Amino acid sequence: MAFWVTLLRSLFAIGLGVALIINSDTARPLLGNFLGFYWVSAGIMSVRWNASGERAGKLTITLGIIGILAGLAVVSRNLTANLFGEALVVAILGGVIVLTGLLHIFFGFRPREGRHRRLTSSLLGVFEVILGLILFIEPLERRPILNGAAMVWALLGGAILMYDAFRIRRLQQMEKDT
């Protein structure tokens, strides 16, 4: 199941990146929805991994719950923007993206084979920090820069997720064979 979830997330991210290239104005709302569902699914997977003991720990469960809550907040951003103002909601979203990027940079995803951070996770984290800072510093003013950063993040993230999906599939096949 992890293979299919990761593969679908990768295909959606790549599709989002292509949509941002073709027509960034139409794709911008998709970016928010993608981030929301991405964080919800990542949060659910973290909670599941914690419950199964695969990656048990306080940090895993905490990040999972934060991911679910942040994702739900992003998906409901139209409601929250009406209550708090669009600029504040976008700035908060930028702050959350910066924190997510920092988590990727400093903690990264660790494959089962070893305890070393993967370069791809750190690279994805750098793009998330850039994207988040753009949103946080000038939430509604830098749309061309934001679109470019989001496009690179979506394409890079999609490629990394696709690699992870097939890595998961390979590990599952190896476990089956033993």
Token reading at 160 = 């990394």
The string of pLDDT tens digits covering residues 61-117 is: 777 887 788 788 778 878 877 888 877 777 777 887 888 788 778 776 544 444 444
- End-to-end CA separation in angstroms for the chain: 20
- Domain layout of the chain by residue ranges: 2-37+80-173
- Contact (CB, 8 A) for 123 and 157: no
Average pLDDT, the chain: 78
Predicted pLDDT of residue 64: 80
For residue 36, give the 3-state DSSP assignment. helix
CA distance 116 to 40: 26
